[in-house]
């Protein structure tokens, strides 16, 4: 037989715990870590999904997007007009304006739609 000193931080305070209490504190901590990690991952996927949905909307009528951008006097006006015409958020519109034209092809639309479906599934799983 041997002695052991189980000291753990519980709510920021060091406490000496028995084996059962030590395991309970550890499991509570792990559950909290997993919960926070899942929330973070879900939020990241939702943010990406939001951008992908905006790109898909733009790709469905790319000629109109290009016309609006060309007819605008500056990027702020292009942003406002795209937001009004396509009912996009400011984040989506800025992402569309920052995306190079070479990325807005038919093949990329297929990739974006599959990414959207994948993200939907991952968000539901989390």
Query: Is residue 1 in some structural domain?
Result: no
What is the β-pairing status of strands 13-16 and 7-10? antiparallel
CATH code at 69? 1.10.268.10
Query: Is residue 2 in some structural domain?
Result: no
State residue 50's pLDDT score: 94
Q: Map tokens 């997993």 to a residue.
A: 34
pTM summary value: 0.75
State residue 84's pLDDT score: 92
**Domain assignment of residue 52, given as a range:** 7-125
Average pLDDT over residues 64-93: 92
State residue 113's pLDDT score: 85
Q: Map tokens 């942003």 to a residue.
A: 79
Burial class (CB in 10 A: 0-12, 13-18, 19+), 104: middle
State residue 79's pLDDT score: 92
**Domain total in the chain:** 1
Average pLDDT over residues 21-50: 94
């Amino acid at each position: 037989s041997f002695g052991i000193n189980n000291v753990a931080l519980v709510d920021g305070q060091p406490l000496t715990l028995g084996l059962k209490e030590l395991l309970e504190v550890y499991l509570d901590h792990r559950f909290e870590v997993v919960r926070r990690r899942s929330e973070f991952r879900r939020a990241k996927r939702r943010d990406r999904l939001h951008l992908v949905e905006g790109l898909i909307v733009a790709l469905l009528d790319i000629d109109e997007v290009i016309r609006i951008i060309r007819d605008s006097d500056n990027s702020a006006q292009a942003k406002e007009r795209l937001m009004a015409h396509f009912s996009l958020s400011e984040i989506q519109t800025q992402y569309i304006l920052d995306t190079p034209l070479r990325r807005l092809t038919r093949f990329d639309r297929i990739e974006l739609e599959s990414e959207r479906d994948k993200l939907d599934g991952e968000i539901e799983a989390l």
